[in-house]
């Protein structure tokens, strides 16, 4: 076919294609096609592409209720979208997504979104026992797409699922974005709000900038967020469950080029209850925790909190039979940490707390590691701790007061450095009016006795200086009474009943000071055994020198209080001994549960001749009286009684002639008159008469009893009402003691 001339071609085009009527036709065709594609074809293609892509690449079902596009207004609307997980659980979904793209985006070659709305969005996240979550599993499937398939059945091979823990479900989430422009320094306002299925809702009203760097800032408001949502994260560190609790917060949140995350605002946690994951017993909780000001800067690794106010906090400490604590058992073993990162890469947070205030706190304490189970409660605990800050020069002050059991009270005050507690600390714990029988489980290990009754006040002061402990323990016990015995291998063998009687004053009060010193950095040092040893040393010193304690009460001499010395053959108490017994009586008045034991001593080699001489003199006095002879001071060796002494000698020794005896004491020098030594003669006769006096053991024991009775009568006092109760002064059976110049009665002590 011959080619058409150029003119003919132009004419043909002008007639059939370029005339005004034909252009209108094609414009109409284009408009119709644009409309059809924009309103009908594009939604269908987009829906199918999205559903098929998710199914092929992720092995999950995507459901879309409807997609609407408007090619003239450049708006897109998606309704009732839902993405399901491999087990059919919905992961994400929403009721309606609406996006408005401005026409200026096409001309300016930048994204401009006048309006974007997301209504009724839903998010469901869940962590499994393996540590994997639904979304991390989704991401792992996305990275390894396309997923391998089973060729025979055509099913996607899906990851094995372990048992779930607490899910995170976000519902009724709404999002709006206005006047969004993808350009440098363009700032767009947006709002987002939502509700958690387990409780709580949030709103965020702010602005966002994407270029040249991401910058987001706005007001975050969280209302009663259920803390059970954080249970999976807490369980990474502790085997606990969050039974209740809600978080509310309001403040300014920002993420930008200066700091990846900052928050300035307040927070409050209400009705928190954390319990053991297995047993279900409560561990810690509170009615309310409030922080009025929070300043958090992630980039600077800085957190500053205003005063933390705790209303009705509670905690439970339990010591099992094997001495393990419930808190220790709750901790999850962490994998060994990798080599420490360089200091310039990581660092600890600087945490500053303006203080902590407690009101209505309760601490439940149980100890089953003791021979007898023990439990008590500290309640109505209030007070606080002052500012806590790393590097602060002054230590934090502690000031707390609470109720122990039903009628006791505890006060805690002092200073501590929480970042280095062993460097410098001073604490004073004062317990008032404790019911001692309640603490029997701790006593029986030392005493081997139960506590029947009594109250205690404890003033415990502890000072730590670079690990050196200097502690003083002032203990006041009132009306203490020991109960029945309780066998324990570690119990002391000290006479506790006597010790209590020695220590208890007339008001029924016992005061003991127990100092303890040591180095807490020494692995051999343990505070409990140190206290036990210090107490044992004190009690042993009391038992070994009980009269030291009594002498201190009356400013007396312990050696003189402990004994009474008698001259041989006598039961009379001389004046110096009376003074000592007066002091002993005064000491007994100050120790009303203490009794004295009076052994009846005698020394045969000293008392026997003394009694003989007393009998000889008594016989002479009787003879003088019968003869009617009056001698002012009768004596065996006196010249005035020599005739009577000779008569007594003749009666005792009739076979011996007095003339022979006189010759033994008569001397005569040559050429001189014989000289008679009358004094030596009378002394000889007196000794012979005395030696002839019979003294039986019964008489020696009677003398011994007379001595004990003399001391007892003096201590009891005179009058109808004894100064000391009679049963507190106990004479004992006669006992033969060693000679020591005088005959000494060693006073013993016993509990009443």
Distance of alpha carbon 544 from alpha carbon 558, whole angstroms: 12
Interior angle at CA 134, CA 131 and CA 140, nearest 5: 85
In a shared domain, residues 140 and 278: no
For residue 264, list its beta bridge partners: 252, 295
Percent of the chain whose pLDDT exceeds 90: 31
**Distance between CA 189 and CA 213 in Å, rounded?**
16
Asked if the model's pLDDT at residue 179 lies above 70, the reply is: yes
| pLDDT mean over 476-499 | 87
Task: Tell whether 249 and 140 lie within a shared domain.
Answer: no
Respond yes or no on whether the N-terminal peptide bond of residue 718 is cis (omega within 30° of 0).
no
Residue 396 lies in a domain: no
The CATH number of the domain holding residue 747 is: 3.30.1330.60
Q: Give the pTM.
A: 0.75
- Could you tell me the residue range of the domain that residue 172 belongs to? 12-147+163-212
**What pLDDT is stored for residue 533 in this prediction?**
85
Phi/psi at 171 (5° precision): -125, 165
Q: Kindly state whether residues 696 and 598 are assigned to the same domain.
A: yes
pLDDT surpasses 60 at 148: no
77: in domain: yes
State the first-to-last Cα distance of the chain, in angstroms, to the nearest integer.
148
140 and 242 inside one domain: no
Confidence of residue 347 (pLDDT cuts 50, 70, 90): low
- What average pLDDT does the segment 224-242 reach? 84
List the one residue out of 411, 418, 428, 431 whose CA is nearest residue 462.
428
CA 688 to chain CA centroid, Å, is 83
Mean pLDDT over each residue of the chain, to the nearest integer: 83
Inform me whether the pLDDT recorded for 552 exceeds 50. Answer: yes
What dihedral do alpha carbons 522, 524, 527, 528 form, nearest 10°? Answer: 170
- Predicted confidence at residue 615, as pLDDT, reads 92
- Do 439 and 451 touch, CB atoms closer than 8 A? yes
Distance CA 713, CA 705 (A): 12
pLDDT confidence of residue 642: 87
pLDDT at 135: 78
| pLDDT above 80 (res 720) | no
Q: Which residue has the higher pLDDT, 633 or 119?
A: 119
Residue 409 lies in a domain: no
- Which letter, b or e, does each residue of 403-420 get, where b requires 16 or more Cβ atoms within 10 Å of its Cβ? bbbeebbbebebbbbeee
Residues 251 and 203 reside in one and the same domain? no
Which of 516, 544, 572 is the C-terminal boundary of a domain? Answer: 544
Give the CA distances from residue 464 to residues 214, 354, 591, in Å, rounded to whole numbers and listed in that order. Answer: 51, 24, 37
Same domain, 629 and 668: yes
Does one domain contain both 181 and 60?
yes
- Confidence check: pLDDT of 74 > 70: yes
Mention every residue, 6+ apart, whose C-beta is less than 8 A from residue 730. 595, 596, 597, 598, 750
425, 383: one domain: no
Residue 556 and residue 527 share a domain: no
pLDDT, one tens digit per residue, over 682-717 is 899 999 999 989 999 999 999 999 999 999 999 998
Is the residue at 669 inside a domain? Answer: yes
288 vs 273: CA distance, rounded Å: 11
- Give the pLDDT confidence score for residue 156 in this predicted structure: 42
Tell me how many degrees the CA angle 144-147-149 measures, rounded to the nearest 5.
150
Look at the chain and count its residues: 752
Count of structural domains, the chain: 4
Looking at 497, 522, 544, the residue that finishes a domain is 544
Strand-pair partners of 274: 242, 284
Do 730 and 743 have their domain in common? yes
Whether 339 is covered by a domain: the verdict is: no
Question: How confident is the model at residue 418, as a pLDDT?
Answer: 74
pLDDT tops 70 at residue 2: no
The confidence score (pLDDT) of residue 143 equals 61
Query: Domain boundary residue among 509, 544, 579?
Result: 544
What confidence tens digit (pLDDT) does each residue in 105-129 have? 555 556 667 788 888 888 888 777 6
More confident residue, 600 or 27: 600
Question: What pLDDT score was predicted for residue 336?
Answer: 58
Confidence of residue 631 (pLDDT cuts 50, 70, 90): confident
| 154 or 49, which is more confident | 49
For 699, the token pair is 């008489």
| 7 or 688: which leads in pLDDT | 688
What's the mean pLDDT in 587-616?
A: 93
Contact 608, 702 (CB under 8 A): no
**Do 186 and 317 sit in the same domain of this protein?**
no
Count helices and strands (H / E) in the chain. Answer: 18, 30
How far is residue 581 CA from its own chain's centroid? 49
CB 60 within 8 A of CB 52: no
C-alpha 711/C-alpha 714 separation (Å) is 5
Spatial distance between the Cα atoms of 722 and 727, rounded to a whole number of angstroms: 11
pLDDT band at 3 (very low <50, low <70, confident <90, very high): low
Check pLDDT > 50 for residue 149.
no
Lowest-pLDDT range of 47-51, 277-281, 462-466, 717-721: 717-721
In a domain, 408, yes or no: no
Contact 452, 497 (CB under 8 A): no
The confidence score (pLDDT) of residue 23 equals 60
- Looking at mean pLDDT, say which of 239-243, 314-318, 743-747 comes out highest: 743-747
Q: Which two tokens stand for residue 545?
A: 């020198």
Q: Is 249:222 a contact under the CB 8 Å cutoff? A: yes
On whether residue 100 sits in a domain, the answer given is yes
User: Does position 7 have pLDDT exceeding 70, yes or no?
Assistant: no
Please say whether the beta carbons of 249 and 267 come within 8 A: yes
Reported as a pLDDT band with limits 50, 70 and 90, residue 151 is very low
Cβ(116)–Cβ(99) below 8 Å:
yes
SS3 call for 468: strand
Does residue 371 sit within a domain?
yes
Q: Give yes or no for a contact between 137 and 179, defined as CB atoms under 8 angstroms apart.
A: no
The reported pLDDT for the residue numbered 636 is: 87
For 137, other C-beta atoms within 10 Å of its C-beta total 19
Residue 28 pLDDT > 80:
no
Tell me how crowded residue 456 is: count the other CB atoms within 10 A of its CB. Answer: 20
* Interval 211-223: pLDDT, tens: 888 889 999 999 9
Secondary structure (DSSP) of 412-447: EEEEE-TTSTTTEEEEEEEEEEEEGGGGHHHHHHHH
At residue 662's C-alpha, the angle toward residues 660 and 663, to 5°, is 65
Q: Going by C-beta distance under 8 Å and a sequence separation of 6 or more, which residues neighbour residue 11?
A: none
Averaged pLDDT, 719-723 = 61
């Amino acid at each position: 076919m011959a080619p058409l001339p150029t003119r003919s071609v132009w004419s043909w085009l002008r007639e059939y294609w370029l005339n005004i009527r034909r252009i209108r036709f094609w414009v109409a065709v284009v408009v119709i096609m644009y409309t059809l594609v924009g309103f009908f074809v594009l939604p269908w293609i987009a829906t199918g592409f999205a559903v098929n892509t998710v199914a092929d690449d992720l092995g999950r079902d995507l459901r879309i209720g409807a997609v609407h596009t408007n090619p003239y207004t450049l708006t897109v609307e998606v309704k009732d979208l839902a993405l399901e997980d491999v087990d059919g659980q919905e992961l994400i979904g929403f009721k309606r997504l609406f996006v408005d793209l401005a026409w200026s985006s096409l001309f300016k070659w930048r994204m401009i979104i006048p309006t974007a709305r997301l209504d009724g969005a839903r998010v469901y996240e869940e962590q499994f026992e393996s540590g994997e979550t639904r979304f991390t599993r989704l991401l792992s499937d996305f990275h390894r797409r396309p997923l391998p398939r089973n060729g025979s059945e055509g099913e996607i091979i899906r990851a094995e699922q372990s048992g779930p823990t607490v899910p995170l479900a976000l519902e009724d989430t709404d999002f709006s974005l206005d006047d969004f422009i993808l350009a440098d320094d363009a700032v767009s306002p947006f709002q987002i709000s939502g509700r958690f299925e387990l409780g709580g809702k949030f709103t965020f009203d702010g602005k966002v900038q994407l270029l040249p760097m991401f910058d987001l800032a706005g007001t975050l408001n969280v209302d009663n967020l259920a803390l059970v949502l954080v249970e999976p994260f807490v369980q990474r560190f502790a085997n606990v469950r969050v039974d209740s609790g809600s978080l509310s917060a309001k403040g300014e949140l920002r993420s930008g080029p200066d700091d990846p995350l900052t928050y300035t605002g307040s927070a409050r946690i209400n009705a928190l209850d954390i319990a053991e994951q297995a047993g279900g017993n409560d561990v810690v909780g509170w009615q309310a925790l409030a922080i009025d000001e929070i300043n958090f800067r992630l980039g600077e690794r800085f957190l500053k909190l205003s005063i933390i106010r705790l209303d009705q906090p509670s905690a439970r400490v339990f010591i099992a039979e094997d001495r393990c604590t419930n808190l220790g058992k709750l901790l999850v073993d962490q994998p060994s940490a990798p080599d420490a990162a360089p200091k310039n890469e990581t660092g600890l947070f600087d945490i500053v707390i303006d203080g902590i205030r407690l009101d209505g706190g309760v601490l439940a304490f149980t100890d089953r590691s003791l021979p007898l189970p023990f439990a008590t409660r500290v309640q109505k605990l209030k007070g606080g701790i002052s500012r806590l800050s790393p590097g602060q020069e002054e230590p934090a002050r502690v000031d707390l007061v609470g109720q122990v059991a039903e009628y006791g009270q505890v006060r805690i005050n002092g200073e501590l450095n929480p970042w280095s507690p062993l460097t410098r600390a001073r604490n004073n714990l004062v317990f008032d009016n404790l019911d001692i029988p309640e603490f029997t489980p701790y006593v029986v290990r030392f005493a081997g006795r139960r506590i029947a009754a009594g109250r205690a006040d404890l003033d415990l002061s502890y000072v730590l200086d670079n690990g050196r402990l200097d502690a003083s323990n002032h203990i006041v016990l009132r009306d203490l009474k020991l109960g029945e015995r309780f066998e324990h291998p570690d119990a002391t063998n000290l006479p506790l009943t006597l010790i209590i009687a020695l220590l208890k004053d007339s008001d029924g009060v016992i005061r003991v000071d127990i100092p303890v010193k040591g180095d807490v950095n020494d692995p051999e040092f343990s505070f409990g055994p140190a206290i036990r040893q210090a107490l044992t040393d004190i009690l042993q010193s009391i038992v070994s020198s009980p009269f030291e304690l009594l002498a201190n009460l009356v400013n007396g001499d312990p050696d003189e209080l402990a004994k009474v010395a008698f001259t041989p053959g006598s039961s009379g108490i001389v004046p110096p001994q009376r003074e000592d017994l007066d002091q002993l009586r005064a000491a007994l008045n100050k120790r009303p549960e203490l009794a004295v034991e009076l052994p009846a001593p005698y020394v045969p080699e000293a008392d026997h001749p003394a009694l003989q001489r007393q009998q000889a003199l008594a016989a002479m006095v009787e003879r003088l009286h019968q003869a009617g002879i009056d001698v002012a001071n009768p004596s065996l060796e006196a010249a005035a009684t020599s005739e009577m002494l000779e008569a007594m000698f003749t009666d005792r020794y009739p076979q011996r002639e007095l003339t022979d005896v006189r010759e033994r004491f008569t001397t005569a020098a040559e050429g001189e008159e014989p000289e008679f030594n009358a004094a030596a003669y009378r002394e000889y006769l007196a000794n012979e008469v005395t030696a002839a006096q019979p003294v039986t053991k019964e008489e020696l024991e009677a003398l011994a009893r007379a001595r004990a009775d003399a001391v007892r009568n003096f201590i009891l006092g005179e009058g109808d009402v004894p100064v000391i109760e009679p049963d507190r002064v106990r004479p004992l059976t006669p006992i033969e003691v060693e000679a020591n110049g005088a005959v000494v009665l060693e006073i013993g002590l016993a509990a009443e």
